[in-house]
Chains A and B, each alone.
Chain A
């Protein structure tokens, strides 16, 4: 059974750095074709893809946020962390981590999701 869990609610001040750690079970990030990604959703708005990290250390980032994002993994702890620098109130929203399945045909899906965690950016 695959599960993913984000940390509890986070409050950060503008210009600070956000670090979120996703803890997962039921799969290994050393298995071919497996990845973990982060997606966020501002209140009442659409989903926004942020970053994705694969079993082979392939890192992918949203082009518009790439300069602010870093995704890392700790395979032994079954964790993936997302760091976002220079936080701004517009970064407020729910942040999800999700299991990603990749096929050699190039298809990729977020097929299991965490419940999401609220992040608030405010002074």
Chain B
């Protein structure tokens, strides 16, 4: 199985901060990577697919990059509603362990 490792597992940030979350695959997955946001008690929400394509309706402050084994999710200016847990997912398979973004 391909393993997905996110870092950090949690981070503290302030409104307006630029936040970067990293996801590393144990072997190349080309661009087959998705990012999801999950708030407590809610279902996950798709943010980005194909490593860098923004899902319809997702604010442009979210962006994704990377290919092969190393991927990044960036929030350019953190908003109050962005405090949540973020997961990467290899298409058709494993999720990362999550990164909690807290105040």
Secondary structure of the B side of the interface? loop
Contacts of B89 in A (CB 8 A): 47, 49
Segment from A8-16, A26-34, A106-114 that makes contact with B = A106-114
Which of B49, B92, B96 is A60 in contact with, Cβ under 8 Å? B92
Contacts of A105 in B (CB 8 A): 50
Contact A113 B43 (CB under 8 A): yes
Q: How far is the CB of A36 from chain B (nearest CB, A)?
A: 14
Q: How far is the CB of A104 from chain B (nearest CB, A)?
A: 13
Smallest Cβ-Cβ distance to B97: which chain A residue: A46
Q: How many residues of B contact A (CB 8 A)?
A: 24
Contact B43 A111 (CB under 8 A): no
- The reply on A64 being an interface residue by CB < 8 A is yes
Which of B42, B91, B93, B95 is A107 in contact with, Cβ under 8 Å? B91
How many A-B pairs have beta carbons closer than 8 Å: the answer is 57
Q: How far is the CB of A26 from chain B (nearest CB, A)?
A: 15
Contact B97 A110 (CB under 8 A): no
Given contacts A47-B87, A47-B95, contact A107 B32 (CB under 8 A): yes
Which of B38, B42, B55 is A111 in contact with, Cβ under 8 Å? B55
Given contacts A107-B32, A109-B46, A113-B44, contact A49 B93 (CB under 8 A): yes
Contacts of A114 in B (CB 8 A): 43
In B25-57, the 8 Å CB interface with A consists of: 31-32, 34, 36, 38, 42-46, 49-50, 55
Given contacts A46-B98, A47-B98, contact A108 B92 (CB under 8 A): yes
Contact A106 B1 (CB under 8 A): no
Most buried by A among B1, B31, B94: B94
Question: Interface of B with A (CB < 8 Å)?
Answer: 1, 31-32, 34, 36, 38, 42-46, 49-50, 55, 87, 89, 91-98
Question: Interface of A with B (CB < 8 Å)?
Answer: 39, 46-49, 52, 60, 62-64, 96, 98, 105-111, 113-116
3 nearest interchain CB pairs? A113-B43, A47-B95, A109-B49
